[in-house]
Structure 1
């Protein structure tokens, strides 16, 4: 299993799972606690992520819920650029991931603000230039599984063979990326995207199968509807369910947890790592 990714020529060790903290510079992301738009809020959120043990900050400029409005690349950049300038001024060495499906946004944020990772929920489907752009930029790429767009994804939940279809999706996409010279790929099975509640739990049950690709796995479960639609309540009340699923993901081989609540995710990592390191080989 590949347990590192290349960040600006330095290897980021994933042998102990890392936590990626979410920062949304949006007015409409599904979890209100992640929305940060003022300079003070942005700085405080970044400091919180880092102080609580997060190694990567994932910044997003548009909501990806089914009820959200699709922004253009220009509109997304207008949200992202002021925040990125603030972050690079205050935290010049932090590892930054930008959550975007636009190749132009990827290009500008990497070249102008030194963004380290591109996190594309569409797997190159919304912008056909994304794969070639990431190859030219030579940064790690998070390849997520989704069908359609965030606005239409829940119309595409029928699969001939659910797990096999997703494995086939990753196999084909990774082959294309490898041919272009993209070697640092992280796969995200896409919990909550183009999947029913039952399918999300099936995906979690089979998450260990994705280790066959020999690349890092990212699990993004934090406060999603798969939790509160099953248990009841709201996103605000879904921290405990999130921690349970993060723990299951870690036991299934996840290398990165993308979360709103960094402290609690770090506790999951520390406990699972402690258990793993306590195994005595007879």
Structure 2
């Protein structure tokens, strides 16, 4: 059965969905996106994703074309139409089609383009990698300076991910001025002496929705959290490391640039945070 997608208010088979060649998302990467996880047919952290979406649109001066309720209705409709139990809903909003190509923003009356589609991932919460952990490498962070805006310009993270793949590991941690910023599609953490360390929020990193939830759950579990930057060398000497994202939840990291982290196996802090996050997300999903 063909997947049903959402395009500008219409639900249609993916093979019939098309966007203009003049859409600025295609020509200029002039758009933003969100990815919402789905567990047991429920949307995870939906409200947080909507807050970040509106912030990203505002930073790029793109008019928000739908209300939160309309986004929610469309997400739920796509889950039903595609029979999604566990998986993801991808949402993208671009500045739209001004009818021609120009570096300058088009007039305010151009209607943004809204695209949504699902990806089915049965057993999303039971990823076997959580039992073994990821291996990562460090790469230079060559992205633009506004990483706090979740734009669709993902070429360099894709290049870093491909470098990791070519070197036989799972992901890359990007490094700027000697300090880790984040992973290719996730926020990065280390654990030392029981303290969770992760880079503070700024324009340098994406303000992860899963990051916010995990840090909240960590505080509720009386775990100590320190928001500051750290080096690859410090990470290699840590007791544990992990990443968070909407699709990986909490994923242990067991090796960085060939050096084992702690015992070389997923540690108890990451394992507990993953357990808490998945348990609470199942309760709070909408």
TM-score range, shorter chain: under 0.3
Higher strand share: 2
Q: Give 1 or 2: higher helix fraction.
A: 1
Give the number of the structure whose alpha-carbon radius of gyration is greater: 2
When normalised by structure 1's length, the TM-score is: 0.24
**What is the TM-score with the length of structure 2 in the denominator?**
0.24
